[in-house]
Structure 1
Amino acid sequence: MNYKQIVTAFFLVFSLLSCSKDDGNTPVPLNALATPFASTASNVTNTSFQANWVLVPGAESYLIDVSTDNSFSTFVTGYDALSNSGSTVAISGLSPAMAYYYRIRAKRGVEVSNNSNVITVKTTGVAAEDPTFLKVKANALANPFFVGVAVKAQQLNTGSAYDVVLKNEFSSITAEYEMKMDPISTGSGTYNWVAADKIVKYGNDNGINVHAHVLVWHNAVPNWLKDFSGTDAEFALEVKKYITAVVTHFAGKVKSWDVVNEAVDDNGNMRNTVFLTKMGPNYIKDCYQWARDAANAAGDTNLLLFYNDYATSTNINKQNKVFAIVDDLKASNLIDGLGFQMHNTYLSPAKTQMEADINRAVAKGLKIHVSELDIQVNQNNDITTFTNERKLAQKDKYKEIVKIYNALPAANKYALTVWGFKDNESWIPYSTDLNHPGNDWPLLYDNNFEIKSAHTGFLEGLD
């Protein structure tokens, strides 16, 4: 190669090295403005943080975008291409306990670089809670549904805190215990209606829906029936007598009944109860038939009959057995809806598990009742106070569940019922049934009837 050829080759290589391609087609000069790299936020407070990035050679300034969504479809006021010449900027005027997103572009003259990577930062503190009443927002939906709460008769006194909150917030009630067999049935053919009547009358007098819970549950069998010495056939007649009497007594006063509760064990088999032992595997269907017959005989032809159980979203064997029972009842037109208790934790079940479980019932044309909702935040007893982190996690889980429910077809919606009012009155803390080792804060209100972040999460789920 001669000298002229060497020089020509040198300039050719130099020309190639002086160019690069940003998309495989358009040549970009080597000294084009580079894309900045955004780094983690610092100095995070309740209402501000410091955005940080790495300086780009040749940049004259930087444009900062801040948004409340990672797609940047909207911008925080004042932070849509905010210009800054340094490598940091203070972002202020924000809301506590909220997620924000920022990105950076470099600028030189009219030239602007691509957007940087996106940084997520959550402000500290506790967000101001939304005081909107739950039923008000639910009733304003295109496809509204009942918002319910579990109650005790002693709470339903005019002017009490329970009375005020219930009338403002809820459109449905469920007796936590006092409409079960044990408190009502005092002997063969004898009944104590006092507490149950008070609950039903309160609902009827105040235009509040009453979901009746429950006719048959293995943990609420009165001693006289548990120790029944007659034949199995006579035992079955006692159960029939009880169901007929109770459904007849409340005919036209309640909209729905849980007929059988928790008939499936955690192993996916029928639970070994006194009802199964004495009445055989068809006892569930018999109970539903007796309830339907009693309602029809009393002229209550619109009464809705539900089956109710827990942990079906995470326990597929149990879920399969529940739906086998449902299919059998539905084939005989003996069931209208399915109750999903939803005694959940802030970590479980996953959204996809709940959706799959509920949608399985929707596909069968059943009404859906999220019937005993509460969300544990201390199931492992790893906190001694209700931390801000757990408050926000619980809020997100409430929002997730309500959002799933709200998305259901109108024909499948019935009610979403929270299992109690205040944290300190929940059945969950120190529960031996749950093997819960310590305190917890599972409901929408704290011990002083102040709304929690969970309440705001419920409201956000209705958006």
Structure 2
Amino acid sequence: MQHRRSTHHGAGGSTRGPGRALRWSAALLVAPVLVACAPDAEDPQDDQTPPGQEQPETQFDTLREAAPEGFYVGSAAAGGGHHLEQDYDDPFTTDEAYREVLAEQFSSLSAENQMKWEFIHPEQGEYDFGPADAIVDFAEENGQVVRGHTLLWHSQNPEWLEEGDFTPEELREILREHIETVVGRYAGRIQQWDVANEIVDDDAEIRTEENIWIRELGIEIVSDAFRWAHEADPEAELFLNDYSVEGINAKSDVYYGLAQDMLDDGVPLHGFGVQGHLSTQYGYPGDLQQNLQRFADLGLKTAITEIDVRIVMPEDGQPDQGAFEQQAAYYRMSLEACLAVEGCDSFTLWGFVDRYSWVPVFFPEEGAATVMEDDYSPRPAFTALLQALEAAR
């Protein structure tokens, strides 16, 4: 594959989070990683190290240091959502060690839940910007960019909205006011916005029933949302975003056609986001690079926006080394696919430590989906990402 090469540090450079910086031992960082593709997967690289051989040692301690110039490696900032039901305090606000790793390792942050409707707009006419403000402020203090998530979605909407008795005209005004208020508040401080999230269902159909906006206002409201967001912050890059669109399939085909139509209509659509919620029990989407490339050929930026790789958990709760090596291969191939496509400059982990991961809550038989153990020691997947970034410099 062709890599970007640069003699500069990655986007944002190296920084220290508040307090003591957490560093990684050389022994952990050079742990052997197998990058052979999983069964039934197409391997998009032809330069894989043969199975059983160790990868070369790494020069850098952190993902953000290893990244090529202009390439952002991100993480979701944990909080809200399922975290409210767990037996711990808000991670982003209270866990200092977590915050230190978040600052040290990553050059981009996404609000996991804190910018979704039910958290930022809990009552009609009332906003709670505190948690979102904290993430944006933290990012600026640590030389990081922010991905805003999300403005139009069928899920995690407040009760007042979903159960309200609104006319179509009122709903349209509610959405317009929300977008102008939220995007406008952070104008100039958000690099990318997931404007429309998961508007296509698993049957590759537009969500005309689940999504209140599309159901009541038609698919045209998606284009209006992009226009309003662009007016509120002309500098932000505006994305469509979804899961299960890693490869060229029926669902990603719908987005490809929708993107063409929006661009033909002059809609300020700037990018297509592939979430990347993968599982080692399924084959790897070996055509990820080709799929990203076809959107890039439309003139769009692309991004991996929410990647994690689940493992089916054994009875003792501890996956074997082979499972972690397969996981590492999935992470690495996804990153290399993005690096190979011009304009794919953002690669975001949907969390980096298991204890704050959404995966066990929603997939009870799967877990260990992140790149670090709960003590923040790196798994093979972390090392694989570090090596792939370094190779692309």
Describe the SS at the equivalent of 1:386: coil
Describe the SS at the equivalent of 2:113: coil
Partner of 2:6: none
Do the aligned residues in 2 keep the contact of 1:145 with 1:415 (CA within 8 Å)?
Answer: yes
Describe the SS at the equivalent of 2:367: coil
Partner of 1:310: 243
Partner of 2:376: 449
Larger Rg: 1
Describe the SS at the equivalent of 1:254: coil
1:213 to 149, 152, 160: 149
1:276 to 214, 218, 222: 214
2:373 is the counterpart of 1:440: no
Whole-Å separation in 1 of the counterparts to 2:275 and 2:292: 12
Q: What amino acid sits opposite 1:322 in the alignment? A: Y
Deviations 1:174-206 (A, max 9, x none): 000011111111333221111111111111222
2:199 is the counterpart of 1:263: yes
- 1:377 is displaced (CA, Å) by 1.8
Deviations 1:237-259 (A, max 9, x none): 11111111111111112122111
CA 1:135–1:97 in 2, change beyond 3 Å: closer, same or farther?
A: closer
- 1:329 is displaced (CA, Å) by 2.3
2:320 is the counterpart of 1:387: yes
1:424 to 348, 352, 355: 355
Partner of 2:78: 152
Deviations 1:278-337 (A, max 9, x none): 111212111111111222xxxxx2111111001013571111111122112222141111
Q: What amino acid sits opposite 1:291 in the alignment? A: A
Whole-Å separation in 2 of the counterparts to 1:123 and 1:280: 54
Q: What amino acid sits opposite 2:221 in the alignment? A: Y
Partner of 1:67: none
Please, which runs of 5 or more residues in structure 2 have no aligned partner? 1-29, 35-49, 80-89
Q: What amino acid sits opposite 1:256 in the alignment? A: Q
Do the aligned residues in 2 keep the contact of 1:391 with 1:454 (CA within 8 Å)?
Answer: yes
Partner of 1:374: 308
CA 1:160–1:127 in 2, change beyond 3 Å: closer, same or farther?
A: farther
1:151-170 correspondence to structure 2 within 5 Å = 151-152=77-78, 154-156=90-92, 160-170=96-106
CA 1:121–1:346 in 2, change beyond 3 Å: closer, same or farther?
A: closer
Please, which runs of 5 or more residues in structure 1 have no aligned partner? 1-94, 100-119, 296-300
Deviations 1:55-92 (A, max 9, x none): xxxxxxxxxxxxxxxxxxxxxxxxxxxxxxxxxxxxxx
Do the aligned residues in 2 keep the contact of 1:266 with 1:318 (CA within 8 Å)?
Answer: yes
- 1:353 is displaced (CA, Å) by 2.0
Whole-Å separation in 2 of the counterparts to 1:425 and 1:128: 29
Deviations 1:10-41 (A, max 9, x none): xxxxxxxxxxxxxxxxxxxxxxxxxxxxxxxx
Moved more, 341-350 or 152-161: 152-161
Partner of 1:288: 226
Question: Relative contact order (alpha carbons < 8 A, sep ≥ 6): 1 or 2 greater?
Answer: 2
- 1:413 is displaced (CA, Å) by 2.6
CA 1:438–1:354 in 2, change beyond 3 Å: closer, same or farther?
A: same
1:188 to 124, 132, 139: 124
- 1:405 is displaced (CA, Å) by 1.4
2:286 to 349, 352, 359: 352
Partner of 2:14: none
Whole-Å separation in 2 of the counterparts to 1:335 and 1:313: 19
- 1:389 is displaced (CA, Å) by 0.8
CA 1:167–1:151 in 2, change beyond 3 Å: closer, same or farther?
A: same
2:52 to 117, 122, 126: 122
Whole-Å separation in 2 of the counterparts to 1:458 and 1:348: 20
Whole-Å separation in 1 of the counterparts to 2:57 and 2:319: 17
Partner of 1:202: 138
CA 1:438–1:159 in 2, change beyond 3 Å: closer, same or farther?
A: closer
Describe the SS at the equivalent of 1:335: coil
Q: What amino acid sits opposite 1:164 in the alignment? A: E
1:393-432 correspondence to structure 2 within 5 Å = 393-409=326-342, 412-431=343-362
- 1:123 is displaced (CA, Å) by 7.4
- 1:121 is displaced (CA, Å) by 7.3
CA 1:221–1:155 in 2, change beyond 3 Å: closer, same or farther?
A: same
Whole-Å separation in 2 of the counterparts to 1:245 and 1:136: 35
CA 1:134–1:97 in 2, change beyond 3 Å: closer, same or farther?
A: closer
TM-score by structure 2 length? Answer: 0.78
Do the aligned residues in 2 keep the contact of 1:96 with 1:127 (CA within 8 Å)?
Answer: no
Do the aligned residues in 2 keep the contact of 1:186 with 1:222 (CA within 8 Å)?
Answer: yes
2:388 is the counterpart of 1:461: yes
Describe the SS at the equivalent of 1:187: coil
- 1:385 is displaced (CA, Å) by 1.7
1:361 to 273, 295, 299: 295
Do the aligned residues in 2 keep the contact of 1:152 with 1:176 (CA within 8 Å)?
Answer: yes
1:69-80 correspondence to structure 2 within 5 Å = none
Number of residue-to-residue matches in the alignment: 333
Q: What amino acid sits opposite 1:321 in the alignment? A: V
Whole-Å separation in 1 of the counterparts to 2:51 and 2:331: 22
Whole-Å separation in 2 of the counterparts to 1:192 and 1:121: 51
Whole-Å separation in 2 of the counterparts to 1:396 and 1:258: 27
Whole-Å separation in 2 of the counterparts to 1:158 and 1:383: 30
- 1:460 is displaced (CA, Å) by 2.1
Whole-Å separation in 2 of the counterparts to 1:221 and 1:320: 27
Whole-Å separation in 2 of the counterparts to 1:291 and 1:320: 25
